[in-house]
Amino acid sequence: MSSLAELLDNDDGSQPAQDSARPGQQNDNKQNSRIRFPGAFKKGVPNPMDLLESTMSEYPILGAILNGVVIFKVPLKVYVSLCRKAEIEMSCDEGSLEPPVLKVFNRWLLFEAVSRADRRALDGLLQYLQSNEKRLTDEEFKEPSTGKTCLPKALLNLHSGHNDTIPVLMDIAEQTGNLREFINTPFRDVYYRGQTAMHIAIERRCKQYVELLVEKGADVHAQARGRFFQPREEGGYFYFGELPLSLAASTNQPDMVHYLTENSHKAADLRRQDSRGNTVLHALVHIADNTRDNTRFVTKMYDLLLIKSAKLYPDCNLENILNNDGMSPLMMAAKLGKIGVFQHIIRREIKDEEARHLSRKFKDWAYGPVYSNLYDLSSLDTCGEEVSVLEILVYNSRIENRHEMLAVEPINELLRAKWQKFAAVTFYISVFSYLATMVIFTLVAYYRPSTGTPPYAYNSTKDKVRLAGEIITVASGVFFFATNVIHYLLTNPLCFHSFIYSVLVLVSAALYLSGIEAYVSVMVFALALGWMNTLYFTRGLKLTGTYSIMIQKILIKDLFRFLLVYVLFMIGYASALVSLLKICPEKNICNGTCPKYPECRDTNTFSEFLLDLFKLTIGIGELDDMLKGAQYPVVFLILLVTYIILTFVLLLNMLIALMGETVGQVSKESKQIWKLQWATTILDIERSFPVCLRKSFRAGEMVTVGKGLDGMPDKRWCFRVDEVKWSHWNQNLGIINEDPGQKDHYEQTQGGRGLRRGCHNTNNTEYTTAMHKYSLEPRPYMNNHDSKTPAKDGPVHRPLKNLITAGVTICKNTCNTALVFAVIFYHLGDRRHFDLVSTCKM
């Protein structure tokens, strides 16, 4: 038996003892056997190996003879069977009055018992721990690589959702005085660092064990930060927000969320943030994948948590908490392209009166299938005071579906309102200004002096006109350079084309003032790039905007790949073909009449030969001239023909096919792609204005949408969108106004003004007051709707000065462009345009 114990003890690869057992060592061998077979030796069983004979028929046992002693190597299952039989026989031995020997436990036995959910195998564990002053959190009972204790091991090995050893383990830990430490011991390896039993119980969807853990003092704010729990783009697998509550929400367990946030022991804080600063709402946005089922459960859970947080923390809006990147859940949805969650948030409409203040969409009035909806513009359009969602969509996102997100209401109508209100006029002024600048630049370059050295004298009138053009050109370069630098300092991307144009203009001006005639070389490149920059202004029109996008994609995607392969082919064939040309004789041998390329090659032949190969590619080269200096014409011709086949026949046709495919792809989504460019143009114009002007041009209206939690009126800046839905009728809609349609007077009772699409509607009294104040008498044909020409006996127009003064004054007082034009049309007697402007829908 001693040799058998030694053999089992050296099962890890060490050599067994070579000396045979001596009679004097019998007691020591028995004691060693007790130690080497923990848990199997008890009083009343002097030699438990006697059970081996009955076990041999069930399990194979390997035997050997070593120094005259029969050695048996017992398998693992045999050992476990021996232990069980010894326990059964002792339990049936009623005649034995001596107390049994304590069982010995180690990590392997403990993990094996909890994996099999065998609570009987844990009998004697408490006595063993107490007698040896040990605890379940000691290192000897932890997995060395991960720090995992037996509790996570038991939770990972559930049988039909249960494991009977879990309550036993908690009871033992409570009696040994380290229950909280035992429950909250985290994993310590890099992969699963920070994960606790709480995370595992939630992931296994075992609410009964979550309740047990919380009752026993589990940490409901433990953070799992291991590599496994990082986003996939950072090498992880499942990012859920690190916190147990975020894990329950991300795995669609509403009942678990309710318990974690409402239990009486230790409720989870909805405002808690993880190491990235993300709340549970940020985590939900992150796991969204735009599929129908995922979007359905994410949005439902999002609303549940938002309403619950409003009830638990009335003074805190969970949706306004920013993460470490300064993003709210709405901003994150825009940044990551989560269109389903994004659309739900900005169009969220809650009809429950207690949570109505959480809505972002309000029905102002309804009549049949026609609805007038008010959308909360907070975070969507901030007028430059802080980063807006609109700017994130247009500038700070590289997602492919952002043009789809710009088509979501009210984003689409908001952009249209901005275009009509200020962007269109500003855009066309910019177009004409830039074209005028480029025409002046062209004239300056064309009529530059051809004699003398720069800077040239400015004596004649023609020279002075040229000086004015040069100043305008340099000023345009300074303007574009300063604009790009300011945008870059504000963490905005540079406009590459305009920045390079401005640099070339400034370098050309510096060379000109330095007296270097090479300024012309730089100037012509700036001139060509400046005219190419006019493609930027094609964004304002759908037809030209789509064409501009096609050119950009072809240049960046298709042409770049073609040039990369083509240059490699051309350099390789040029090197081989030039090597086949005859070497030109030295000048001292040929007495000044030395032959040149293509009859032979010299130091400049390689660059000239590259140009000839390019001509062959586009079909304008001469093959006979290139063969004149070939040392081996047949080999030279074979290489040249293969080059023509690979480049002219293969590569060029591949380029044409790729360009056709690109054009087809752009054509399919031309409208959406153009809208993205159009939105970029609008925001570029808006960002060029100071904040004060941006506020004055802001689209929308201040509306009282209800009452806040404090009972005060809930006023918000909203944007109105009129919609028609034939599938929904105005029943129990919770509308703000009973009477449908817009009114001409201000709605004082609602705390807001009657607006439509961001344009102020002004009553006729204000117009009439302005007319009389500035002596703008009405024309006699104002009442004639069909008249297009003034009456012959009509009064003479007032001086234009009064007209301009009236317009400027009204604009200052009301900031209403429509009112200014109404005054002008009123004065001119144009009733049709007067009525049109008076009811504008900008």
Rounded-to-integer distance, Cα 797 and Cα 818, Å: 21
Q: In terms of DSSP bridges, do strands 370-376 and 361-367 run parallel, antiparallel, or are they unpaired?
A: antiparallel
Q: Model confidence at 210, in pLDDT bands (50, 70, 90)?
A: very high
Length of the chain equals 842
Q: Is pLDDT at 32 greater than 90 in this prediction?
A: no
Residue 331: its pLDDT value, please? 93
CB 742 within 8 A of CB 763: no
Residue 105 dihedral angles phi and psi, to the nearest 5°: -120, 150
Q: Is pLDDT at 14 greater than 70 in this prediction?
A: no
Residue 833: its pLDDT value, please? 53
Beta-sheet strands, E only, within 42-116: 62-66, 69-73
372: helix, strand or coil:
strand
List helix spans (H) across 132-267.
150-155, 165-175, 179-184, 197-203, 207-215, 244-250, 254-262
Q: Model confidence at 571, in pLDDT bands (50, 70, 90)?
A: very high
Query: What mean pLDDT do residues 258-280 have?
Result: 93
784: helix, strand or coil:
coil
Query: What mean pLDDT do residues 617-632 have?
Result: 80
How many Å separate Cα 784 from the centre of its chain? 59
Amino acid making up residue 243? L
Q: Which residues contact 418 (CB under 8 A, 6 or more apart)?
A: 682, 686, 697, 699
Q: Is pLDDT at 648 greater than 90 in this prediction?
A: no
- pLDDT tens digits for range 78-90: 545 555 555 544 4
Mean pLDDT is lowest, of 103-117, 134-148, 489-503, for: 489-503
Best-predicted range by mean pLDDT (8-12, 65-69, 109-113, 721-725): 109-113
Mean pLDDT is lowest, of 61-65, 227-231, 613-617, 750-754, for: 750-754
CB 181 within 8 A of CB 196: no
Residue 285: its pLDDT value, please? 95
Q: Which residue has the tokens 């992969």?
A: 191
Which token pair is 199?
Answer: 């995370």
**In angstroms, what CA-CA distances link 163 with 86, 110, 374?**
25, 14, 54
CB-count exposure of residue 555 (10 Å: 0-12, 13-18, 19+): exposed
374, 357, 376: which is closest to 366 by C-alpha?
Answer: 374
Q: Is pLDDT at 555 greater than 90 in this prediction?
A: no
Q: Is pLDDT at 58 greater than 50 in this prediction?
A: no
Cβ neighbour number for residue 606 with a 10 Å cutoff: 15
Q: Which residue has the tokens 């194979």?
A: 60
CB 257 within 8 A of CB 297: no
Domain positions in the chain are 2-92, 378-540+669-699, 551-668, 762-838
Residue 796: its pLDDT value, please? 40
Cα atoms found within 13 Å of the Cα of residue 655, Cβ hemisphere only: 20
583: helix, strand or coil:
strand
Rounded-to-integer distance, Cα 81 and Cα 39, Å: 11
Residue 723: its pLDDT value, please? 81
CB 699 within 8 A of CB 719: yes
Q: Is pLDDT at 398 greater than 80 in this prediction?
A: no
How many Å separate Cα 183 from the centre of its chain? 36
- pLDDT tens digits for range 755-795: 333 333 334 444 444 444 444 444 443 444 343 444 433 33
Q: Which residues contact 432 (CB under 8 A, 6 or more apart)?
A: none
Residue 627: its pLDDT value, please? 81
Residue 697: its pLDDT value, please? 85
Q: Which residue has the tokens 């070339």?
A: 504
Residue 302: its pLDDT value, please? 95
For residue 531, give the H/E element and its range: helix 519-532
Which token pair is 405?
Answer: 């997100």
Check residues 280 and 581 and name the one with the higher pLDDT: 280
Most distant pair of Cα atoms in the chain: their distance: 146
Query: What mean pLDDT do residues 189-206 have?
Result: 93
Check residues 12 and 685 and name the one with the higher pLDDT: 685
Letter string b/e over residues 677-710, b meaning 16 or more CB atoms within 10 A of that residue's CB = bbbebbbbbbeebeeeebeebbbbbebbbbeeee
Residue 278 dihedral angles phi and psi, to the nearest 5°: -85, 140
Rounded-to-integer distance, Cα 55 and Cα 633, Å: 92
Query: What mean pLDDT do residues 709-730 have?
Result: 79
Element counts in the chain: helices (H) and strands (E) = 37, 8
Question: CA gyration radius for the chain?
Answer: 43
Cα-based torsion angle of the residue sequence 392, 394, 397, 398 in order, rounded to the nearest 10 degrees: 180
635, 450, 647: which is closest to 567 by C-alpha?
Answer: 647
Residue 678 dihedral angles phi and psi, to the nearest 5°: -65, -45
Q: Which residues contact 834 (CB under 8 A, 6 or more apart)?
A: 782, 822, 825, 826
Query: What mean pLDDT do residues 122-128 have?
Result: 90
354 in the Ramachandran plot: left (φ > 0), alpha (ψ -120 to 50) or beta?
A: alpha
Cβ neighbour number for residue 250 with a 10 Å cutoff: 23
Letter string b/e over residues 163-187, b meaning 16 or more CB atoms within 10 A of that residue's CB = bebbebbbebbeebeebeebbbbbb
Rounded-to-integer distance, Cα 664 and Cα 811, Å: 48
CB 301 within 8 A of CB 251: no
674: helix, strand or coil:
helix
